[in-house]
A and B are shown apart, each in its own frame.
Chain A
Amino acid sequence: MKKGLISVLASVISILVGLLFGLLLLIIIKPGMAFPKFGQMLTAGISSAPKLAKVLYQAAPLIMTGLSVAFAFKTGLFNIGASGQYTVGAFAALACAIIFQMPWYLCLLAALIAGAFWGVFPGLFKALFNVNEVITSIMFNWIGMMAVNLLCMNIKQDGKLIMLPKAWISGNGLTDRTVSLSVANPNALIPKMGLDKLLNSNYMNISIFIAVAFAILLWVILSRTTFGYELKACGSNKNAGIYAGINAKRNIVLSMVIAGAMAGLGGGIYYLAGTAEYTIQKALLAMGFNGISVALLATSNPIGTIFSALFISYIQVGGETLQPVYAKEIIDIIIAVIIYLSAFALLTKTIISKRIGTGTANANDKLGNPIPPEELKGRKAHAHAHGNKQKEGENK
């Protein structure tokens, strides 16, 4: 049996158990409504064309943040900072659209660059000072969100606060969000190419195709280029990579830059859809954290992120139908359970292979790279150590 198929099967089992857990929760909370609501939740995403459009609309940025996390995972880095990179990317796109009146593709480019810039810090600090990238990313999530808020509130052009609606629409005193793009610069909206008419929904545009194209691009980089091979080698065993002449420090920084660029672009395509404005608030944007779920469910495979993002978007759209009888956060519980189960994917995969009787259990490490059984025995886990562990490893 093929490794890929076993991976998919393990994910499917995790999903089924997660959904079952969700159903159980619904039954415990309010038994009478559990089954109809659960059914509604499962079918909402395909119940009508506009709902399907919404699934695709949310899946696009999810694919991007999922790619961001997945790409960093492949290099042995945990990019928990996708949220900050996403926010900074969104700001760059909106600033280019509103202040500089640029067309949509330049705005997306700006989002990409801004996200990449925000990814430099965790990468650089890890490479130069050996500061754990998890901590740096978390700090830069908050710094990024607050900086973006400050900029949105303060950027002035001709004495007007240009990012806010009141500079554009007289009488609109809203200060908690940016101006709608359809007012400020309709050219910055991502083209719809008739898809909105096809699915009868304003949410629909070509962003899902952009996201899929990037997923394929990253897959090609990772599995068909020397650069991708070097990145993966560093991810599986940094010291072996260094020994083989790979510049590990450069790869760490580059990997985080690419990861940041993906998340930043995600922010761009979400806010250039023209259906949501950036709201100034004190909480980190959830899209970045949902990217972690997407990447884990896809076992960090770029092509897999397309499907896992579609799945997560699908049940999130379904989750809205649970309200007001149940809290829609039940969906988050289901996703969390799925991720928890996929944390011991290795175990699940071993069981599947044994059941099917192929004999060899094709173990995957958490990055989704297959590990030969003989290596698995003597393998030292590597990534995510705080502090100087790896440095000391070199001195041994």
Chain B
Amino acid sequence: MIVLADVISATIIFAVPLLLVAMGGMFSERSGIINIALEGIMIIGALAGCLMMRTLNSAVTSGALGSQLAMLISILTAAAAGVVFSVLLAFASINLKADQTIGGTALNMLAPALAIVISWVVQGQGQTTILIPTWSRITEANFGLTMKSQFLQTLLFKNLYLTTPIAVLLFAAAVVLMYKTRFGLRLRSCGEHPQAAASVGINVFKMRYAGVLISGFLGGIGGLAFTLAAGAGFQSSVAGYGFLALAVMIFGNWKPWSILGASLFFALFKVIGAYASSISFLPQFKGVEGVSTYLYPMLPYIITMILLILTSKKSRAPKAEGIPYDKGMR
């Protein structure tokens, strides 16, 4: 039973970054901009968030600042950094009409290198890992509770960070923004037929900027959420999660609820891979080396491929994505 609680809580904490980042990608792509730079945005967000936690560490340990208030500040820092970084993509692909995939690839190369250089500058030569302080986790003590059931304790508090409730709120807000507001309708129209949108007075440039910046906001928080979930500190990488989020977004068909389902699904397989050795009904392949390090971790990628093939018929991308907006084109 404890294993089950473990698996569920680990699934949720790994689903959170996927959900946030894939939702970010959705906003960008529904506005018409392919955002392959999500990986880079996550790295920059995680870097900024972790540096903020590091800065606030002494204030929290001395009791001058509440630990979760410090977390909130760090999360907002991560979001702001993501927004700033995504401006680079927006500028290249909206103002300069550059190729969106190439611009995004450049940013993906820039982010980890920049993160390493900044980590060196802040922490000193050769120190590339930014440690995560222990106060970042929400424990029973934060609520003044003591859990009697170990099952519930594991389920609720083993992997709880402020990013999880914030992700739930942001998801709800994103759904409302996308489908219940004038802004959402306008944004979506720019991803389908920007010239038609412009003909009724919508500013396509502004809408696309909004889409990319929202993806920066969510991607930045997602990067921090990933680093918290991975647990080993920030090492200038998010291990390909930005790309996985892109796959989640496509598998989720550019729709919020499907993306939610897809990210839970992917996280589950990721966690099954990680916990394979303690799940009794899975084959353990006695005598084979590297089962838990390489064989089961391959699972999410293979499943992704199979699912993308099976669902490719139903897949429906925003029509105008990837095409620079040209006023004169009808």
Give the interface of A toward B (CB within 8 A): 25, 29, 78, 80, 125, 129-132, 134-136, 138-140, 142-143, 146-147, 149-150, 153-154, 282-284, 289, 292-293, 296, 324, 326-327, 329-333, 335-337, 339-340, 342-344, 346-347, 366, 377-378, 380-381, 383-389, 392
Does the CB pair A343–B106 fall under 8 Å?
Answer: yes
Given known pairs A125-B309, A146-B297, A154-B290, the reply for A384 and B322 (CB within 8 Å) is: yes
Q: Which B residues touch A132, using CB under 8 A?
A: 250
Q: In the complex, A63 Cα to B100 Cα: how many Å?
A: 24
Q: In the complex, A331 Cα to B112 Cα: how many Å?
A: 12
Q: Which A residues touch B302, using CB under 8 A?
A: 139, 143
Q: Which B residues touch A142, using CB under 8 A?
A: 240, 298, 301
Q: In the complex, A132 Cα to B101 Cα: how many Å?
A: 13
Asked if B149 lies at the interface with its beta carbon under 8 angstroms from chain A, I say no
Q: In the complex, A339 Cα to B103 Cα: how many Å?
A: 8
Does the CB pair B102–A339 fall under 8 Å?
Answer: yes
14 further A-B contacts with Cβ under 8 Å, apart from A80-B105, A340-B88, are: A131-B305, A138-B243, A153-B294, A326-B117, A327-B117, A327-B120, A333-B113, A339-B109, A340-B103, A347-B98, A380-B323, A385-B321, A386-B315, A392-B319
Interface centre among A134, A330, A342, A377 (most CB of B within 10 A): A134
Does the CB pair B295–A146 fall under 8 Å?
Answer: yes
Q: In the complex, A289 Cα to B97 Cα: how many Å?
A: 24
A-B contact count (CB 8 A): 173
Q: Which A residues touch B297, using CB under 8 A?
A: 146
Q: Which B residues touch A332, using CB under 8 A?
A: 109-110, 112-113
Given known pairs A344-B96, A377-B328, the reply for A388 and B101 (CB within 8 Å) is: no
Q: In the complex, A388 Cα to B246 Cα: how many Å?
A: 16
What are 19 A-B contacts defined by CB distance under 8 Å?
Answer: A129-B309, A129-B312, A135-B247, A139-B247, A143-B301, A143-B302, A143-B305, A293-B109, A326-B120, A332-B109, A333-B114, A340-B92, A340-B107, A343-B102, A343-B103, A344-B103, A384-B34, A387-B317, A388-B316
Q: In the complex, A324 Cα to B88 Cα: how many Å?
A: 30
The 8 Å CB contact of B246, one of A78, A135, A342, is: A135
Does the CB pair A25–B290 fall under 8 Å?
Answer: no
Q: Interface on chain B toward A: helix, strand, loop, or mixed SS? A: helix
Q: In the complex, A262 Cα to B324 Cα: how many Å?
A: 31
Q: In the complex, A223 Cα to B319 Cα: how many Å?
A: 33
Asked if B173 lies at the interface with its beta carbon under 8 angstroms from chain A, I say no
Q: In the complex, A240 Cα to B301 Cα: how many Å?
A: 34
- A318 to chain B minimum Cβ distance, whole angstroms, is 15
- A127 to chain B minimum Cβ distance, whole angstroms, is 12
Does the CB pair B117–A139 fall under 8 Å?
Answer: no
Given known pairs A138-B243, A332-B109, A343-B102, the reply for A29 and B295 (CB within 8 Å) is: no
Q: Which A residues touch B301, using CB under 8 A?
A: 139-140, 142-143
Asked if B36 lies at the interface with its beta carbon under 8 angstroms from chain A, I say yes
Give the interface of B toward A (CB within 8 A): 29, 34, 36, 88, 92, 96-103, 105-107, 109-110, 112-114, 116-117, 120-121, 125-126, 237, 240, 243, 246-247, 250, 288-290, 293-295, 297-298, 301-302, 304-305, 308-309, 312, 315-317, 319, 321-324, 328-329
- A64 to chain B minimum Cβ distance, whole angstroms, is 19
Does the CB pair A366–B99 fall under 8 Å?
Answer: yes
The 8 Å CB contact of B110, one of A336, A378, A383, is: A336
Task: Return the 3 tightest CB-CB contacts between A and B, nearest first.
Answer: A387-B317, A332-B113, A336-B110
Does the CB pair B294–A146 fall under 8 Å?
Answer: yes
Q: Which A residues touch B243, using CB under 8 A?
A: 135, 138
Given known pairs A324-B126, A343-B92, the reply for A385 and B304 (CB within 8 Å) is: no
Q: Which A residues touch B319, using CB under 8 A?
A: 389, 392
Q: In the complex, A337 Cα to B105 Cα: how many Å?
A: 11
Residue of A nearest to B323 (CB): A381
The 8 Å CB contact of A387, one of B106, B107, B250, B328, is: B250
The 8 Å CB contact of A150, one of B120, B121, B294, B316, is: B294
Residue of B nearest to A148 (CB): B294
Q: In the complex, A140 Cα to B308 Cα: how many Å?
A: 13
Residue of A nearest to B328 (CB): A377
Q: In the complex, A366 Cα to B323 Cα: how many Å?
A: 13
Q: Which A residues touch B237, using CB under 8 A?
A: 283
Q: Which A residues touch B312, using CB under 8 A?
A: 129-131, 387-388
Does the CB pair A378–B329 fall under 8 Å?
Answer: yes
Q: In the complex, A282 Cα to B232 Cα: how many Å?
A: 15
- A291 to chain B minimum Cβ distance, whole angstroms, is 11
Residue of B nearest to A290 (CB): B109
Q: In the complex, A377 Cα to B326 Cα: how many Å?
A: 9
Q: Which A residues touch B98, using CB under 8 A?
A: 343-344, 346-347
Q: Which B residues touch A29, using CB under 8 A?
A: 117, 121
- B43 to chain A minimum Cβ distance, whole angstroms, is 12
Given known pairs A143-B301, A389-B319, the reply for A138 and B240 (CB within 8 Å) is: yes
Q: Which B residues touch A139, using CB under 8 A?
A: 247, 301-302, 304-305
Given known pairs A142-B240, A296-B102, the reply for A329 and B322 (CB within 8 Å) is: no
Residue of B nearest to A139 (CB): B301
